[in-house]
Amino acid sequence: MAPQTVVLITGAGRGIGKSLAAAYLLQPDHIVIGTVRDPKAPQAEELKSLPAGSGSRILLVGIENTSLTDPKSAVESIEVAGVDHIDIVIANSGVSIGAGPLETADPKAFVDSFNINVLSSVVLFQAVNKLLTKSSAPKWVTVSSRGGSTAAPLPWYSYAAAYCMSKASLNWFSQTLHVSNASLTAFAIHPGFVLTDMGIAAATGAGIDLPVTKGEESAKNIIDLISSATRETLSGKFIDVDTREEIPW
């Protein structure tokens, strides 16, 4: 029996996360762990019905991104299900809230964005690290955004200031994982401007054209990048998955 690759994807119930879960599940000998808010919700049932490759299966665990305890409970559930390691973590879940002119942005949106987009990843890493260290080649992938680059901002980023500032913090976290964990391949990605609910809302709010990249295409590009990633080639970097360009922090 071939060794199974274990992939944990946060926010697997919709958007890019769902596309990633579906694509990984089609590959043979994979255990796909998807985090969802409610494992009994219709979104979760839809994930459970996704087609699977030979020797592959999906395992859903409940994580609400504002919870400081859900990740630990999720890891306990994973271990009870017989999973003793994790090879890849894709920290994908996030929100964009409080969009509007910076001059009138709601301060609470900045706090909520930080808690959901940044702190949830910190708590997740603390919970899953013991299983990551049991992998022979562990990888942590932070789904960030060009909006988090402080070196190359665009004028319309100010419309989504809370989102972009939280992604900048998330980038710091991703770099720190690389620096402080010598055996971990950790890098951040910009998944492209993708035709998801968040992408459509962002385009509409900013008054720009709708994204043309579909979730399935973005997932393929992300998976291709992860599969070839090593600590020497990508760890500690910020990469555009469409162009393979290294984005300045």
Number of separate helices (H) and strands (E) present in the chain: 8, 7
Two structure tokens written together for 69: 């305890």
Residue 178, number of CB atoms within 10 A of its CB: 19
N-terminal to C-terminal alpha carbon distance within the chain: 42
Two structure tokens written together for 117: 């987009």
Q: How far apart are CA 24 and CA 53, in angstroms?
A: 9
Two structure tokens written together for 237: 């970097």
Q: Is 163 a catalytic residue?
A: yes
Two structure tokens written together for 53: 């490759």
Name the catalytic one among 167, 214, 220, 237. Answer: 167
Q: Is 24 a catalytic residue?
A: no
C-beta of residue 13 within 8 angstroms of C-beta of residue 44: yes
Query: Rounded to the nearest 10 degrees, how much is the dihedral formed by the CA atoms of 215, 221, 225, 226?
Result: 30
Name the catalytic one among 40, 48, 163, 220. Answer: 163
**What are the residue numbers of the active site?**
163, 167
